[in-house]
Structure 1
Amino acid sequence: MMCGSDAAWRATAGYLYLLHLDGPGLAWEYLRRNPEYQEAWQHADAHLDRWGLEAWEDPFLDARSACPIWNNTILPVLHVTSGSPGNTADQPAFNLWSLPGRKRLRVLDAPDGHLALLAQTESDWIRARVEPQALAAASTVYWLPVPVPVPVSATQHRRQACLLPPAAVGWTAQRRRRRTRGFRNQILHLRALQAVDAAAAGASHREIAEAIFGRDQVQAEWHADSSLRTQLRHYLRRGQFFMRGGYLDLLTPR
């Protein structure tokens, strides 16, 4: 079970970090709970592309610790390469430590040895691939694969591509989408993931409902035609949908 122990699913507080994740972060939370992925990870199954990943990631690491490397055709990320010597006027040096928030680096299993970078604050994310030479280059080039499936203006695109200093970083459209998507959708994901964990631990529907809605409300409203039953079935169906492949939709900008 992914949340620690067979009783861990009962504590909703343990899932509150999900409210601060972006789409790719939530996608990982669903994928790591997929029993087929867990089995494939243990045996280093050759069919990695089935999962939308370019490298295996430990399913026992939640989104606060993991650094999953998604297929770049599914989730295009910023690329950072060393600048050309003949044209450095508009090419700032790359300073990893100027990026705000927590940073994670992971070496890609590729001949060029590029690094996968995830920089995260409470509500913002930058994902990038960094050429090793860019870490020590006097100038760097920032670019995004095209077509970029994000409807941003030229100014927004330029801000994202330039990785300005911390106070002026023009964070990606992921931040904007999260705010417009709203808190309600984050709650749906939280409850769906909690329900999936509880079901995997063998909990009954009533036990899951008590964890999500509270024992008092379940005692008062749990009956054959209860709206609580309807909501719980929705959470379970939603969780299964995203866990069994629907998580890929969370990687595609809307």
Structure 2
Amino acid sequence: MPNARTPGPWTLSAWLRILLISRAGAFCFASSKGTDASVFWCPCQCPHVLPVVAETAAPPRGVDLLDLARHSCRISVLVTRDGHQHLLVEDSGRSLQLAASGVSILEPVRLTSSVLWSPEELKQRLNALKCLNSLCWTGRLQPAFFPTEPRCSRLRRVLRALDGSIAGAPHREIGLALFGRARVEQDWADPGDHLRDSVRRAVRRGRSLMNGGYKRFLL
């Protein structure tokens, strides 16, 4: 994990954090561990990241500018060694990331972006563009741009199984955490092994996601 620091003089508000890293080219970056981690994805790997060019806003300044000081969301800016800026906006569990080249985005800037994307990227990039436009007008990341993942309940179970497996818990103990004591006491010894198989599949799926399978969710 690259080292990061927050230089006090650059902080525009309590919600803005400036992160500097000494190494570029990693697949993703995280500013910290735990539930407060800010994760930055590489735009080459994740089409949800919107590439933009930041240009100096010459006077008179209109409303069509990105001004970080105007937003109440948590904002983190990561600057890589090659000078690229990665802007991450976080709001109530939702996030929007921009990959910006050009002038510093710490000042009000005018953003431009390509209008030609590959068919594989088009849907995600258009959604990010609409979300950015909404953010600039409302100051928030609106839920409409972040539909619920239909597999979220199953994926939560898979991640809990993975956590238990990594911690060294036996499969029966993982089953207790996933399905409850009553279900385990009733079905664990069933000759069909259906409940045991469910735990095994959840652990196997979790390890597959951990070992690179999660990249499919970025598409």
- Decide: shared fold, TM above 0.5: yes
Q: Does 1:109 find its partner at 2:81?
A: yes
In structure 2, the partner of 1:210 is: 176
Gap runs ≥5 in structure 1: 1-45
Tell me how far 1:89 sits from its aligned partner: 8.0
2:90 alignment partner, one of 120, 129, 142: 120
8 Å contact kept, 1:53–1:68: no
Aligned-partner SS, 2:39: coil
- Name which of structure 1's ranges 214-223 and 65-74 shifts more when overlaid on structure 2: 65-74
Aligned-partner SS, 2:153: helix
CA-atom RMSD, angstroms? 3.6
> Which one scores higher on RCO, CA 8 angstroms, separation ≥ 6?
1
Q: How does 1:26-65 map to 2 (within 5 A)?
A: 53=27, 55=29, 57=30, 61-62=33-34, 64-65=35-36
Aligned-partner SS, 2:168: coil
TM-score by length of 2: 0.69
Q: How does 1:1-254 map to 2 (within 5 A)?
A: 53=27, 55=29, 57=30, 61-62=33-34, 64-76=35-47, 77-83=49-55, 92-99=64-71, 101-110=73-82, 112=83, 114-131=84-101, 133-137=104-108, 139-143=109-113, 146-147=117-118, 149-151=121-123, 159-162=130-133, 163-166=135-138, 175-176=146-147, 179=148, 181-182=149-150, 185-223=151-189, 224-252=191-219
Aligned-partner SS, 1:83: strand
Q: Count residues with an aligned counterpart.
A: 192
Q: 1:235 to 1:149 in 2, by over 3 A?
A: same
Q: 1:80 to 1:97 in 2, by over 3 A?
A: farther
Letter in 2 for 1:117: L
Tell me how far 1:194 sits from its aligned partner: 1.4
Tell me how far 1:134 sits from its aligned partner: 2.8
Q: 1:125 to 1:153 in 2, by over 3 A?
A: closer
**Distance in 1 (alpha carbons) for counterparts of 2:61 and 2:144:** 25
**Distance in 2 (alpha carbons) for counterparts of 1:239 and 1:109:** 34
Q: 1:170 to 1:142 in 2, by over 3 A?
A: farther
8 Å contact kept, 1:98–1:166: no
1:80-122 CA-to-partner distances (Å, cap 9, x unmatched) read 4433668988772212144453323322232x2x332221223
Relative to its length, the structure with more strand (as a share) is 2
8 Å contact kept, 1:101–1:120: yes
